[in-house]
Amino acid sequence: MATQIDKEACREAYNDVRDDSTETNWAAFKYEGSTIVPAGQGTDYEDFKKLCTDDSRLFGFVRFTTGDAMSKRVKFTLITWIGENISGLQRAKISTDKTMIKDIVQTFAKEFMVSDLRELDEEYIRTELKKAGGANYDAQAE
């Protein structure tokens, strides 16, 4: 059965993370049968990480504030999580299904495909986003 997506609900969750007037920092999208639906939203990145289990596959849209002493800025990332216990067919399918997510989640600085919780380390992701962000004025302070 072909994968579907609840575009309206997923777009609403995406926009909530992008909205500067809300405290929402992440939204997750999971498979419910053959349909991708919102799996939750929140303010604490650790809560997002708890959804990333060995038997789950999901997409996450996460907001991070990055920058340096001279400028702070918001950066977004798209995380594709594939748990260790996900079958080969489901692993393969997630790559094509990601195009449906990208129709909604269109603005992000960096994309990650992750199967190991260590790769979801917040500092690692912040460092990667900082690299993707261009100018780094922290070096001048050293």
Q: What is the pLDDT of residue 75?
A: 92
Gap between the Cα atoms of 28 and 74, Å rounded: 18
Q: What confidence score (pLDDT) does residue 36 get?
A: 97
Phi, psi of 135 (to 5 degrees): -55, 140
Q: For residues 48 and 116, is the Cβ–Cβ distance under 8 A?
A: no
Helix (H) or strand (E) holding 88: helix 88-104
pLDDT at 82 over 50: yes
Domain 4-133, classified CATH 3.40.20.10, yes or no:
yes
C-beta separation of 28 from 60 below 8 A: yes
**Domain definitions of the chain by residue range:** 4-133
pLDDT tens column, 13-33: 999 999 999 999 999 999 999
Whole-model pTM over 0.75: yes
What local confidence, expressed as pLDDT, does residue 134 receive? 61
**Higher pLDDT pick, 65 / 79:** 79
